[in-house]
A and B are shown apart, each in its own frame.
Chain A
Amino acid sequence: METKKIATRDGFGEAIVELGKENRDILVVDIDIGKSCKTGTFRKELPEQYLNVGIAEQNGAGVAAGLATCGKIPFVVTYAAFGSMRICEMIRQEICYPHLNVKIACSHGGVTPANDGASHQAIEDMGIMRTLPNMTVIMPADYYAAKALVKAAAAFDGPMYLRFTRDAIPVIYDENETFEIGKAKKLREGKDVALIANGDTVRLAIEAAGLLAEKGIEARVLDMHTIKPLDEQAVNACVDEIGRIITVEDHNILNGLGSAVAEVIAERGKGKLKRIGIQDQFGQSAPYERLLAMNGITVENIVAQAEALMK
């Protein structure tokens, strides 16, 4: 049976409409890429809660901060490359420092804007956002996770960075799945190796675990949708109960999920780790799966690295 594939930006676009109808204080602050970030329905159905500040990201962040001081819950909607780097200092100064309830909701995370090339592929964003005090950083693994986590974000008081995919990715959850911010989801139990992934790479980890089982290696699979605050308890459990960990992410291996997990493991003082992710290099215009493959972000490589750790 063919797996259903949906981009997580679509999950965001649908959830934000439902949220906006329930709560008039929820606003969308668009930066002239609303159509691409899936806020079209919100714009049409909730015009009084919809703002478009033009191609002016810095201003968008500041306007959102001002709105938040007056009790609004603005979602600044843009691409991950711009929402994390173009406006990094505005987010730091006007949103994180005053601890304002602004959500930066970004499509085009990782290499998912594949054909757009390196300028639009965000491989540094989660790491950058992770270093900002008061910030929460999330990447849902599929369409249903996106819907659920956007709803959780709206109910959460404080700055948050949410990252979605441009391209369609396989659906791994169903509509009844529940998520808790800062709490990893255990998708498979195993005693030999732990695969900790987030976003669009969770499905690769699941598939790899299936292949590993055929080889007699039992893999635990965690969806670490929130990389900050990191579920340290879940990581430590992997260290103590398994001791062999592989992280998988559509993000630079520097400062993202792999680094966050490495920090916990290093302080624990035991356990082996292999990080799979973007190899600290810019991408290019190419098919999404090819870009992942160029960086070893494949089911085959996860299996190979797991086998290597078992030796």
Chain B
Amino acid sequence: MDQKELTALKNKATELRIRVIDMIWKARSGHPGGSLSVADFMAACYFRYMNVRPEEPRWPDRDRFVLSKGHVCPAQYAALAMRGFFPMEVLDTLRKEGSPLQGHPSMTKCPGIDISTGSLGQGLACGVGMALAAKLDRKDYRVFCAVGDGECNEGEIWEACGTAHKYKLDNLVVFVDWNNLQLDGTCEEIMPPISLARKFEAFGFEVYECDGNDMEALCEVMDKALAAKNGLPKCIVGKTVKGKGVSYMENVCSWHGTAPNDEQHAQAIEELNALYIKEEA
């Protein structure tokens, strides 16, 4: 990836973060912390990797995205709007009555959502089903799935991993958003993860580790993971910061599910705007 593309991708991630903060501020509810930690992976998927057709959201051969940690859907909604799946103004309707942008993603209401999620631990199994369908039909599409570190407390995650390994789903990329905070506290405090990387490895995944908020590092491992057609499902354990990009939200547990007030919103937007990198002419 050349410098120009990298800069453009980083700026997409910044724009995505700004839209996330705007949406949650306007909705007066939502989950900013995890939406910001997963933003770089989301931007990488929608602006570098995923083969999708915004004008034909259910195109059968598209790459799929499964947001297993469904509460951070503002990040996916922003990405979908930025890719042209629906007009940008729709973002202002987040969590409002009649909106396609439900508090947790609904595939029957929102174009570009490949599976409804929101109840933690369930999305990965659905992603496994999609990747399996591609194998059964001998198609090339891939499945990108974002799971939370806290979400890995759920047993169904590990059941799904077993199936991914058994059926050699090398078309599946799982991104673990390792921001080390869950709703009630740190991962160590609530349910020590021991080592998520070693766990996924033990379940038959090819595991990569990187700074999940460093676009260059992330794309480097994503490139490798997607190139390795070796019969192994892929897992990227991305070390991230909950609330990344907004100083007062970073690593603060209470920003899991709280909307910023007007003042906090203004400060967040100012800080995020400062992250834009001027593109070379």
Contact = CB atoms under 8 A, between A and B. Distances in A.
Interface in A43-69: 48-49, 51, 53-54, 56, 58-59, 61-69
B130 A93 contact: no
Interface of B: 60, 64, 66, 106-108, 114-119, 121-134, 136-137, 155-156, 159-160, 162-163, 166-167
B126 A56 contact: no
A58 B155 contact: yes
Given A63-B160, A66-B125, A72 B136 contact: yes
A90 B108 contact: no
B126 A65 contact: yes
B160 A48 contact: no
B162 A51 contact: no
A70 B125 contact: no
Contacts of A69: 64, 107, 114-115, 126, 129-130, 133
Interface in A1-37: 27
B125 A97 contact: no
Given A53-B162, A59-B159, A62-B128, 19 more contacts: A27-B136, A51-B132, A53-B163, A53-B166, A54-B166, A56-B156, A56-B159, A56-B162, A58-B122, A59-B160, A62-B124, A67-B129, A69-B64, A69-B114, A69-B129, A74-B129, A93-B116, A94-B125, A98-B108
B115 A63 contact: no
B53 to A, nearest CB: 16
Interface residues of A, number: 29
Residue from A54, A63, A72, A97 whose CB has the most chain B CB atoms within 10 Å = A63
A63 B106 contact: no
Contacts of A27: 136
Interface in A88-103: 89-90, 93-94, 97-99
A99 B130 contact: no
A49 B136 CA distance: 8
A146 to B, nearest CB: 26
Nearest to A92: B119
A58 to B, nearest CB: 4
Contacts of B107: 69, 98
B200 to A, nearest CB: 15
A94 B160 contact: no
Contacts of B136: 27, 48-49, 72
A98 B70 CA distance: 14
Contact of A64 (B118, B129, B167): B129
A278 B120 CA distance: 35
Nearest to B129: A66
Nearest to B167: A51
B159 A71 contact: no
Most chain A C-beta atoms within 10 Å of own C-beta, residue among B66, B128, B155: B128
Contacts of B156: 56, 58-59, 62, 90
B130 A59 contact: no
B163 A59 contact: yes
A58 B126 contact: no
Contacts of A62: 122-126, 128-129, 156, 160
